[in-house]
Amino acid sequence: MTLIIASAGKGSAGKTTMMHGLFTRLIQRAGITGLAVDVDPTGLWTTIAKHEGILPETIQTVGAIRSDYERQQGALADSDAPRVESAMVNQAICQFSESWSWLSLGRWELPGSQCTPNRALSYGLQEMVDKRRYDIILCDEEAGIEHIGRYANLPIDIFFVVLAGKDVFWTTATKEVILTIASHAHARSTKRDPMIVLIGNRWTGDDEEWKHWSSQLITDVLRACPQDRRPTLWTYPVPLPEGCNEQWNTIIDTLANSIEICARFLSQTNPLVTRFLFHRFMQLLAAGAFQAYPDQKEEQTRPS
């Protein structure tokens, strides 16, 4: 079983910073194979990895390869798309170490929308999951909610939803992201509902304020979900005040350690019991986290 982790949330929240922090820690752990996927067409994460010397200056992207094919061969028949586009995704993979590889979506270079390289990436990632080529896949998603539906068929195990404020603007955006994740997870056929981890970046209140605010937000989200579609939600009560690098690094270290243990264990476990053991292992994530659900009595008495 491949452990798939993705980021989600509004732009400028700190998703790429968090995913890069996890990535730089996990690539140092021996015995784990992984793939880092820059799903944002702007390629910000790829640029950061190049700047730090992790990647070569020139790498191929799915968008560029798919655009070149269209220029030279013309339109691709729908019946051939899964096979041909999966091969293009494999061509774009850059193996930068013995155990880890990189994949960048990039932009569509011809007239039209970004849908074509997005579809190719979806086919390629699904093939990798089916063949269990990696222990971990890290996906740094673009901002917004559209991409959540685009890759809805992938069995994503953990969504890190990052927010950077507590006003109505951030609260509303975060609720929409979580509701979209829950909706698409319920519709897919894999039955692997994702765990959603809410992380407050640049938080200005104290721990108790974060606990109260995030618990209320999640309560509102769960009330809006049908009872059979409620996601598993965790939220960190240790907020991340702006400029507090030590606190940020502590949380990223904790997440990386938990992810490493999960990946090692799941790669050796009978698939019939992986979901049960996955949730048990992810309780390690609760060292500094709490699970929020609406009060049962309140839930029973609320108006329909």
* CATH topology assigned to domain 3-32+135-301: Rossmann fold (3.40.50)
Least confident of 9-13, 63-67, 98-102: 9-13
pLDDT in tens, 65-78: 999 999 999 989 99
Task: Give the domain ranges of the chain.
Answer: 3-32+135-301, 42-99+106-131
Helix (H, G, I), strand (E, B) or coil at 303: coil
pLDDT in tens, 202-258: 766 666 777 777 777 777 877 777 666 666 665 554 455 555 677 777 778 878 887
* Pairing mode of beta strands 232-235, 290-291: antiparallel
| CA gap 134, 58 in Å, rounded | 24
DSSP string, 210-270: HHHHHHHHHHHHHHHS-GGGPPEEEE-SS-B-TT-HHHHHHHHHHHHHHHHHHHHHHTTS-
Helix (H, G, I), strand (E, B) or coil at 16: helix
